[in-house]
A and B are shown apart, each in its own frame.
Chain A
Amino acid sequence: MALRVTPGMMQSQLMRNINHNLTRMSSQQNELSTGRRLNKPSDDPVGITYSLRYRSELAMNEQYDKNVSQAKSQLDHVDTVVGQLNDIVQRAQELCIQALNGTNPQTALDAIAVEIGQIYEQAITIGNDQLNGKFIFNGQMTDKAPYDATTAYTATAPESDDQLINVRFSAGVSVPINVTGGEVFGKTTDSDNLFKTLKDIQNALTPTANKTALENAYGRLNTRYDQIINVRSEVGARTNRVDLIDQRLKDLEYNITTLQSETEDTDMAETIMRYNQEEAVYQASLSTGAKIISPTLIDYLR
């Protein structure tokens, strides 16, 4: 079509094209300088929904990571304390064997009885152990001491709480971070209740020795000891589980960070290349523009 061309047309066309070039350059420059290709929802409406989810998941992951370290330190503490209990129960076993030897004079048995008494006191102390001001062997009733030295061995001693405290490590995954007093020391009704057993041993030694009762109590002490070992290995298993969760969270974090970066971040190499292309086009449009716009017939009329 024979179009009549006027300078106004050429000028507005040139301006439009230069403007288009500049718009593209500015958006690429923005990508390059922020390092992100997703700066506002309209940059990538589909990507933004993923981006929001990744960011959210990373934030929660960070929180779960904190939960993991707290759970670990709590489980480690429980392990240490149960370990201590393990040690004193072993000592009580040794003392029982010594007492059962049959050649001990009453004074020696009295001395053993005194030591068993000490072990009993120590067991109470361990039973009332606190971490951060919270009793660790009283289930969810962390504000109440579970054991009282004067009543713990009686049949009417109050039962310690048997509920577990769960900590969340991700959606739907939670791990209990405590063991209950009942599992460790035996319930009040259990025949091998540690406090009752220790008291029975003490009573079987002094003031007069009762070998049958001692043997019976020694047997119960052994089953309790097995229980304590069981609890300890369960704590160990839970620590392992938390370690695994920890590992999984770290893997997840890496994966999500990669995904987030793929969604949000600028592909520097590609963008720089495209930017250079745009720049070349822009330069070209400027220089041809300068050539086209300036001359008119007036320049050649003298």
Chain B
Amino acid sequence: MRSTFHSIETAKRALFTEQANISTTGHNISNANTPGFSRQRVNLVASRPIEAPGYMRTNIPGQLGTGVEFTSITRVREKFLDDQFRNANRSLGEWSVQTDTLSKIETVFNEPSDSGIRTVMDNFWKSWTDLSKDPESITGRKIVRENALALVDAMNETSKHLTDLQADLTTNIATKTEQINSISKSVADLNLEIKRLEAYGDNPNDLMDERDYLVDQLSKMVNVTVVNTADGYNITVGAGITLVNGINAPGTTVQGLEEQFNGGGVVGGEIEGLIVSRDRILMDYKSQLDAMADTLVNGEITVTIPAGSTYNGTKLIDDTPVTVKGINGLHKLGFLFNTPPNTPVQAGDIFVTSDGSTTVTAENIKLSQDIINDPMNIATSLRTEVISGSLETVKGNNSLANLMAGLKETQFQFSPVASQNGITNGTIDEFYASMIGQLGLQSQEADRQSTNQQDIVTQVDSRRQSVSGVSLDEEMSDLIKYQHAYSAAARFMTAIDETLDKVINGMGVVGR
């Protein structure tokens, strides 16, 4: 036997359920543009059918439906796509940082232009040619001095810019680490809340979305491994760093991340991009520039000293090739002008270090103070003669100036440090051009990679949107469906009402 009011109960259930449907649709529409939101669905089931109560099983055939009810509201999401997205996002983070750094380095070197190191280098060699045409004068020497200063400035400046970039990256790493920790903290907080709500048997969909969105952000910064446990997400980096452990967020430090990086635990993400940029890319260009400065000043070269020059105190009969150490070594073969009875003075170094160390770098290269004070300390002559009884430097001899100008085309021996450039023996120009070429290639590659990764991320995200995104069309058609169902349920209720009305008020009045 069924209850008299059984159908009213069925209609009520339908009304409630459809209302839940409509509310959820409204929630979806409202969050159509919320980042990280995944659409939610009310899971409907037919409620348990009944049979009439009785002392024994009723003989009425069939089971009577009792209408509808919803068991849960869940979000539509695919974990696999999340993993894919995070992997792609990680690479995007790494390459976009490298692209950024490399394009900054390109700006620092500023080639091709009329103001880069190449230009000041050319001007330096040109000034020697100018001096060779007028070796007696101080004017030519002043030009050489100014161009040498410009060269030194350009090198110092470039090296300083690279150092500044490194310092910026160090600051960035610290900021990113703070961000990682703060996001980890939020994830841990959400873990706690989600766990509490799940204890009641609920699905905290929106909180879960928020948590996933935070992990998405983390995945761009560093390679994270996410494990879903009973206590919520446990997030680790590499083998040694635990960012989130249930409701705790131990977080990490810059030092911790760097150690992981060195141990191969940090692969990908902005953190790796930053560390690689700072410790590999920038270091590489800095050391190449240093090698260039050092080789210019001290690298071994072979020059041919023309006949008639005074070498080691004797007059050369033939052109003689000698090996000297860089521009300084060559300059030291020259003689400064003297006024008898003073004897000719051997020239000194052109370039020295500002910090007194023996290795010249782009940062510490400096024009010799003697030359800054008095350009006459620049030598042009390789020849001394006894003139009217006293030894004198021959002022019109321009052999040294010519050799100096010729250094532009002279092969230098580069120190092995520089061999990552691929050049161990070549002109300074070749070395510089190959360095800039390498920079161009690296930058182009990084740019290509980050564009690719960006495309992949957008694509995967699009797949995710396909699964989880809110489609307004769909929601609207659902809304209409639910609205109709609601109306129908209400009509059903009215129908039952009318039936009961008939029973209560319309029956037993026969013949009245």
Contacts and interface: CB of A to CB of B under 8 A. Distances in A.
Contacts of B126: 59-60, 63
Nearest to B439: A41
B459 to A, nearest CB: 9
Contacts of B466: 3-6, 9
A281 B130 CA distance: 55
A163 B395 contact: no
Given A12-B458, A41-B111, A142-B136, A56 B437 contact: no
A8 interface: yes
B440 A42 contact: yes
B433 A49 contact: yes
Interface stretch (B54-62, B117-125, B180-188, B349-357): B117-125
A301 interface: yes
A63 B136 contact: no
A52 B432 contact: yes
A185 to B, nearest CB: 18
Given A9-B462, A143-B136, A52 B440 contact: no
Contacts of A7: 32, 469, 471-472
B398 A166 contact: yes
Majority SS of interface residues in chain B?
helix
Contacts of A60: 122, 125-126, 408
A268 B301 CA distance: 45
A301 B440 contact: no
B170 to A, nearest CB: 25
Contacts of A38: 112
Interface in A21-55: 38, 40-46, 48-49, 51-53, 55
Contact of B436 (A8, A48, A158, A161): A48
Given A48-B111, A141-B395, A144-B387, A13 B132 contact: no
A18 interface: no
Nearest to A71: B133
A44 B440 contact: yes
B134 to A, nearest CB: 8
Contact of A56 (B118, B399, B444): B118
Nearest to B468: A6
Contacts of B462: 9, 12-13
A193 to B, nearest CB: 20
B192 to A, nearest CB: 30
A47 to B, nearest CB: 8
A221 B290 CA distance: 64
A257 B186 CA distance: 61
Contacts of B112: 38, 48, 51-52, 55, 264
Contacts of B32: 7-8
B432 A140 contact: no
Given A138-B396, A141-B387, A143-B396, 4 more contacts: A3-B466, A7-B472, A16-B458, A144-B387
